[in-house]
Each structure stands twice: as structure tokens, then as C-alpha cells.
Amino acid sequence: MNREPQRHTRRRSERTKAILILVLLCAAVIAGASWGVQTYRRQRAEDKFAELAESTWESGEGHSEGPVPETPEPTVDPVDPIQKLQDMGVPIPEKEVDVKALQEETNPDIYAWLYIPDSSIDYPVLQHPTDNSYYLNYNIDGSKGYPGCIYTENYNRKDFSDPNTVMYGHNMKNGSMFADLHKFEDSEYFSEHPYIYVYTEEGLLVYRVFAAHQTSNEHILYSCDFSDGDSYERYLEGIFESRGMNDNIAEDVEVTRNDRILTLSTCVSNKPERRYLVQGVLLNEAE
């Protein structure tokens, strides 16, 4: 029997297997390198955010609120925005944010800073001038990938004068960005953390949290004409009627069509068609 054809067939088969193994090894090396680059970029971005957040604390000791200051002397301007907050019993964090310096030294698209006590949410807020999804996919240093940034779209003005300002951030598995919004699903956390702090060039804005709930992934600023009082009022009524399993609504907080609200939006794990929102109503003017 002629065994030559069988030997050739075996050799071809062995060469094919060798080539296949080589291709798989190359693919594995490329995938590993890509994962390594993405991990490095993500860690570098998160380290930068942590560095920036630390620089905003006066004491340098991190996330701690100062006590409610004593009532100042009568010579203090009674319409001062900080004084108004103190009179309402709102604690003021020992925090200073120089937005102008952040623009010049870090990224010109930074226009505010967002802080929620007892959470990882202590981040600059950015808005790209032309690409509304840019900071969904790009980091503060311009590198592509996670974690992205906390950002608004250019449908919102950057002075927080719109009826509803919507901020977006990823629900990161490591707890960064907007993952800690989900802490508001706990009713105790919701009741014990009523304030959202936004620092701007003009001063500090404080929002009173009135709702934390799931909703559809419908674009909020498309779905409601907030410039129309009746439409805005119906939107607010819908929020206060929310009765989801993990929804928390502050029934004692009044929000009307004349108020300005802040909406923080992130994803819901394993539910791409859902979004989780934490919403607050503005208590003061920055000026």
C-alpha cells in the first residue's frame, strides 16, 4: 500500500494546526495588549479624577462636611447665597473649586463640579461644544474608553438656568462615576443625603433631592418641552406618581413649574432599556 499520500495529508493537517495555533496566539496577544491599554487608560483617568477631587478639599482630608456654621453677624449681606443656605440649615462642605483653573490646567470643557456627600461622586462636569456623546466615550485627558466623564449635552446651557439640567455618567462596576447614584435606592440613604452640591464659576448651587427612581431610556430633554409650563408640570406630576419597587420620592418637598431641577442619569445593570435618575430642586441662586 502506498503510504505517501497519507504522510502528505498528515503533514498538511499538522501545518494547518500549527498555523491555527499561531493565529490564535497572535489574537490572544493582541486582545491582551488591547485590554492592557484600556485598563491603563481607565486607571489613569480615575487617578486624575481622584487627584482633582482631593485638590478641592480645604482640609485635604477628603469627603467630610463641615458643621452648619453659626449665624453670622448682622453686617453680613442677608441675600448672600451661602448665607441663605445656612439660614435653611444646609451644611456647607469644606470645599473650594476653582473652575477657571480647572479649565486652564486640565480641560477647557470643564464648567462645573458635582459633589454628593458619602459617595464617590466628586467630579468635574464637562460639556463638549459640538459632540454630545463625546464624554460618554472619552476621558478627561482625551483618551478613548472608560470611565468617560460626567457631562451634559449642549441642549442645556452651562449656567444652570434651564428648567431641567440633565447630567450623565457611566454606572461603573468598580463604583466610580455615577455608580453610587444607586445608593439612593436605599430609603435610609435617600432620607439622610438630601443635598446635591454644584460648584460653578459664579458660586455654589445646592439642590434638594426629591426623587430617585427608574425610568425608560427615552431622552428626557426630547420627551418634554420644559419651556412649556403645562408640559413641565405634567412631567413633575409623573415623577411624584412613581411607585417602582426601589423608587424613593420625598413627598414633603414641593417642586413647581417655576422651579429649576437637576437630573442625574445613569444606567441600570442588565437593563439597557432603563435609566436610574436622582433629581433635586434648586434651593438658591449662585449670584
Q: For Cα atoms 175, 145, 147, give the angle at the middle one, nearest 5 degrees.
A: 20
| CATH code, domain carrying 137 | 2.40.260.10
Beta strands in 22-82 (DSSP E): none
Q: Which three cell numbers stand for residue 214?
A: 427608574
Contact in structure between 267 and 206 (CB atoms under 8 Å): no
**Closest of 119, 286, 106 to residue 198, by C-alpha:** 286
Rounded to an integer, what distance in angstroms lies between the CA atom of residue 139 and that of residue 153? 16
Does the residue 50 lie in any domain?
yes
Domain, as residue range, for 272: 36-60+79-282
Which residues have a Cβ under 8 Å from the Cβ of 89 and sit 6 or more positions away? 68
Q: What is the mean pLDDT of residues 268-282?
A: 97
Q: Rounded distance, CA 202 to CA 110, Å?
A: 14
Instruction: Give the tens place of pLDDT for each residue, 212-263.
Output: 999 999 999 999 999 999 999 999 999 999 988 899 999 999 999 999 999 9
User: Would 143 be classed as within a structural domain?
Assistant: yes
Do the domain assignments include residue 267? yes
Asked if residue 176 belongs to a domain, the reply is: yes
Domains in the chain, number? 1
Q: Over pLDDT 70: what percentage of the chain?
A: 84
Q: Any idea which of 74-78, 127-131, 169-173, 265-269 has the lowest mean pLDDT?
A: 74-78
pLDDT band at 48 (very low <50, low <70, confident <90, very high): confident
User: For position 83, what pLDDT does the model report?
Assistant: 84
Query: Is 178 part of any domain?
Result: yes
With beta carbons less than 8 A apart as the criterion, state whether 166 and 153 touch. Answer: yes
In a domain, 202, yes or no: yes
Mean residue pLDDT across the chain: 88
Residue-level pLDDT at 64: 47
User: Tens digit of pLDDT for each residue in 96-118?
Assistant: 999 999 999 999 999 999 999 99
Name, in order, each residue with C-beta under 8 angstroms of 125's C-beta and a sequence gap of 6 or more. Answer: 110, 111, 112, 113, 114, 150, 151, 152, 167, 198
Question: At 207, is the pLDDT very low, low, confident or very high (cuts 50, 70, 90)?
Answer: very high
pLDDT of residue 76: 46
Q: What is the pLDDT of residue 69?
A: 46
